Amino acid sequence: MTDFAARLTEIADKVTVALDQLIPAAAGPEADLMRAMRHAGLANGKRIRPFFLLEVGSMFGAPETPLLHAAAALECVHTYSLVHDDLPCMDDDDLRRGQPTVHVAFDEATAVLAGDALLTLAFGVLADENMEVGATVRLHLISKLAEAAGARGMVAGQMIDMLGREHVRDLNTITRMQRMKTGALISYAVEAGAIIGGASEAERHALAGFANDLGLAYQIADDLLDVTGDVAQLGKATGKDDEAGKSTFVTLLGVEGAQQRVRLLAAQAKEHMAIFRNRANILLQSVDYVLDREH
């Protein structure tokens, strides 16, 4: 097992424990709301965003408590976006993280509400004193999360994705869509680690470049997996983009062209990290993981 793989597993486990403590226990006539939040939030995700947040923060010697809370908050936002994106009126997916999606396991209303509650919880976690970090840092984290996740970030990316084939046909639009839909939260993960770690301006700049390139590489790899991947390993449906007649990086660049783009972006991502020398070893390994991932 590489250092990266070990660290990814370690962080995933810790974030799941943190989420288990932060998501309210099921109680009262509204118990299905918490059950649905837990169904989605405690499922076996890769926790790649928490990984970036904790790994970047640790590189600057930040304490684990604020990093873990911020990572849990970020994962709440990521999870809520999956729950809502899977709804019948959106991507209409039945399978997620190897289990039935929330609207299948419960119902649509519960899925909408569980998503809403997870998003709300994220901001509550970041504002809480249990973050064990100063007020200015907490506010900075909240501002940046609202920006990354909101109408000029993730939600706008999903909105463009919903427009489908008529509107999303060229590489520029797809790139912008993906930078918002997936890239914004990956960049936030790296940025939040840097904020909590007190990174310098130059360090933040390098990390932003790293996150930008890696986020895009990650998404193109995702499009490739939709074509070449295996349902059982992915834990979600494949071939969906093609079925919907959507333009993706793969339909526009071809499989080889897309693979080449991933390699190029990965190399660029690594170059950004040169200023950190061997402190960034595990982050550099994460780039190779994105290149080779099978799920």
Identify any residues that bridge with 96 across adjacent strands, giving them in sequence order.
99
Q: How many residues at the interface with a copy of itself, by CB under 8 A?
A: 55
Measured between alpha carbons, how far is 44 from 13 in angstroms, rounded to an integer? 9
Find out whether 244 and 165 touch, Cβ atoms under 8 Å: yes
Window 160 to 219, contacts with a copy of itself (CB under 8 A): 160, 162-163, 167-168, 173
Closest CA to 157 of 91, 64, 88: 91
CA-atom Rg of the chain in angstroms = 18
- Considering only 105-113, 191-199, 201-209, 281-289, which stretch makes contact with a copy of itself by CB under 8 A? 105-113
Find out whether 102 and 114 touch, Cβ atoms under 8 Å: yes
User: Among 13, 64, 94, 128, which residue sits at the site for a copy of itself (rule: CB under 8 A)?
Assistant: 128
Q: Among residues 116 and 241, whose Cβ is nearest to a copy of itself?
A: 116
Q: Among residues 122 and 273, whose Cβ is nearest to a copy of itself?
A: 122
Helix (H) or strand (E) holding 99: strand 99-100
Tell me: does residue 241 bind a copy of itself (CB under 8 A).
no
Tell me: does residue 16 bind a copy of itself (CB under 8 A).
no
Sketch the per residue contact string, 20 through 39, with a copy of itself: x for CB under 8 A, - otherwise. ---xx---xxx-xxx--x--
C-alpha distance from residue 78 to each of 23, 40, 181 (Å): 14, 10, 10
Smallest distance, a copy of itself to C-beta of residue 191, A: 15
Which residue has 């990650």 as its token pair? 218
Question: Helices 108-127 & 31-41, crossing angle to 10 degrees?
Answer: 70
Cα 59 from chain centre: 20
Tell me: does residue 87 bind a copy of itself (CB under 8 A).
yes
Tell me: does residue 42 bind a copy of itself (CB under 8 A).
no
Tell me: does residue 138 bind a copy of itself (CB under 8 A).
yes
> For binding to a copy of itself (CB under 8 A), which residues are involved?
23-24, 28-30, 32-34, 37, 80, 84, 87, 89-90, 107-110, 112-113, 115-117, 119-121, 123-124, 126-128, 135-136, 138-139, 142-143, 145-147, 149-152, 155-160, 162-163, 167-168, 173
